[in-house]
Structure 1
Amino acid sequence: MGVTRGAGVPVSTLTALVLGALLNAAVFSLPSRFAEVSGVTGTLVGYAVAGAGTAALVLVFRGLAVRRPDLDGAVYAYARAGFGEYVGTFAVFGYWASVCVGSVTYWLLATATLGTVLPALAGGATPAATAVSSVGVWSCFLLVRNGTGRAAAVNRVVTAVKVVPIVVFLVLAAVSFQPDVFTDNLGGADYTGTMPHQVRSATSVLVFVFLGVEAAAVFSRHARRRTDIGRATVLGFLAGFVLLAAVPILSYGLLSMNRIATLRQPSMGGVLESAVGRWGAAFVGVALVLAVLGAYLAWTLLATEVLSVAADRGGLPRVLCRTNAAGTPTGALLATTVLVQGMLVVTAVSGDAFSAAFDLTSALTLVPFLLVAGFAVRLAVTGAEPARGRLRDGVVGALAA
Structure 2
Amino acid sequence: MSQAGTTAESPPAAKLTLTTLTAMVVGSMVGAGVFSLPSRFAQETGVLGALVAWAVAGTGMLMLAFVFQNLAVRRPDLDAGVYAYAKAGFGEYLGFFSAFGYWASACVGNVTYWVLIMSTLGAVFPALGDGDTLLAAALSTLGLWAFFLLIRRGVKEAAAINRIVTVAKVVPILVFVVLALFCLDPKVFAANWGGAAYAGPLFDQVLGTMLATVFVFLGVEGASVYSRHAKRREDVGRATVLGFLSVFAVFASVTIVSYGILPMGETAELRQPSMAGVLEAAVGPWGEVFVSAGLIVSVLGAYLAWTLMAAEVLFVAAKDHDMPRFLSRATPADVPVSALLMSTLMSQAVLVVTLFSEDAFTFALNLTSALTLIPFLLAAAFALKLVTRPDPLAGGGRGTPREITVAAVATLYTAFLLYAAGLKFVLVSFIVYAPATLLFVKVRREQGRRLFSPGELVVCAVSVVGAVLGLLALASGWISL
Q: Distance in 2 between matches of 1:216 and 1:380?
A: 22
Deviation at 1:5, TM superposition (A): 3.8
What CA deviation, in whole Å up to 9, does each residue of 1:36-90 have, x standing for no partner? 0111111111111111111011011001111111111101110000000001001
Q: Distance in 2 between matches of 1:51 and 1:184?
A: 25
Q: Distance in 1 between matches of 2:299 and 2:403?
A: 36
Letter of the 1:377 counterpart? L
Q: Which residue does 1:129 correspond to in 2? A: 136
Give the one of 347, 360, 379 matched to 1:353: 360
Deviation at 1:8, TM superposition (A): 2.1
Q: Which residue does 1:219 correspond to in 2? A: 226
Matched, 1:400 2:410: yes
Q: Distance in 2 between matches of 1:246 and 1:61?
A: 25
Matched, 1:236 2:243: yes
Deviation at 1:149, TM superposition (A): 1.1
What CA deviation, in whole Å up to 9, does each residue of 1:230-286 have, x standing for no partner? 111111100110111111110001110000000011100000000110010011111
Q: Which residue does 2:323 correspond to in 1? A: 316
Give the one of 174, 187, 190 matched to 2:194: 187
Letter of the 1:360 counterpart? L
Q: Distance in 2 between matches of 1:133 and 1:245?
A: 30
What CA deviation, in whole Å up to 9, does each residue of 1:99-152 have, x standing for no partner? 110111111110111111111112101011001111111000000111111111
Q: TM-score, normalised by structure 2?
A: 0.81
Deviation at 1:192, TM superposition (A): 1.5
What CA deviation, in whole Å up to 9, does each residue of 1:293-337 have, x standing for no partner? 100000001101111111110100011110123221111001100
1:164-313 alignment, distance < 5 Å? 164-313=171-320
Deviation at 1:390, TM superposition (A): 3.2
Moved more, 321-330 or 254-263: 321-330
The CA RMSD over aligned residues, in Å, is 1.4
Matched, 1:333 2:340: yes
Give the one of 384, 396, 400 matched to 1:390: 400
Structure 1 residue runs of 4 or more that deviate by more than 4 Å after TM superposition:
none
Q: Which residue does 2:16 correspond to in 1? A: 9
Letter of the 2:400 counterpart? R
Q: Which residue does 2:384 correspond to in 1? A: 377
SS class of match (1:191): coil
Letter of the 1:303 counterpart? A
Distance of aligned partners of 1:66 and 1:135 in 2 relative to their CA distance in 1, 3 Å threshold: same
Q: Distance in 1 between matches of 2:181 and 2:128?
A: 32
Contact 1:23/1:295 (8 A) holds in 2: yes
Letter of the 1:326 counterpart? A
Contact 2:271/2:277 (8 A) holds in 1: yes
What CA deviation, in whole Å up to 9, does each residue of 1:158-179 have, x standing for no partner? 1100011001101100100111
Letter of the 1:315 counterpart? D
SS class of match (2:198): helix
Percent identity over paired residues: 56
List alignment gaps of at least 5 residues for structure 2.
1-6, 412-481
Contact 1:126/1:348 (8 A) holds in 2: yes
Distance of aligned partners of 1:239 and 1:9 in 2 relative to their CA distance in 1, 3 Å threshold: same
List alignment gaps of at least 5 residues for structure 1.
none
Contact 2:13/2:334 (8 A) holds in 1: no
Give the one of 134, 143, 146 matched to 2:153: 146
Deviation at 1:388, TM superposition (A): 6.6
Contact 1:5/1:222 (8 A) holds in 2: no
Deviation at 1:4, TM superposition (A): 6.4
Contact 1:5/1:221 (8 A) holds in 2: no
Distance of aligned partners of 1:77 and 1:5 in 2 relative to their CA distance in 1, 3 Å threshold: same
Q: Distance in 1 between matches of 2:314 and 2:329?
A: 11
Moved more, 5-14 or 121-130: 5-14
Letter of the 1:393 counterpart? E
Q: Distance in 1 between matches of 2:390 and 2:360?
A: 47
Q: Distance in 2 between matches of 1:94 and 1:192?
A: 32
Highest RCO, 1 vs 2 (Cα 8 Å, sep ≥ 6): 1
Contact 1:6/1:224 (8 A) holds in 2: no
Contact 2:127/2:133 (8 A) holds in 1: yes
Q: Which residue does 2:42 correspond to in 1? A: 35
Q: Which residue does 1:61 correspond to in 2? A: 68
Moved more, 55-64 or 386-395: 386-395
Q: TM-score, normalised by structure 1?
A: 0.97
Distance of aligned partners of 1:21 and 1:309 in 2 relative to their CA distance in 1, 3 Å threshold: same
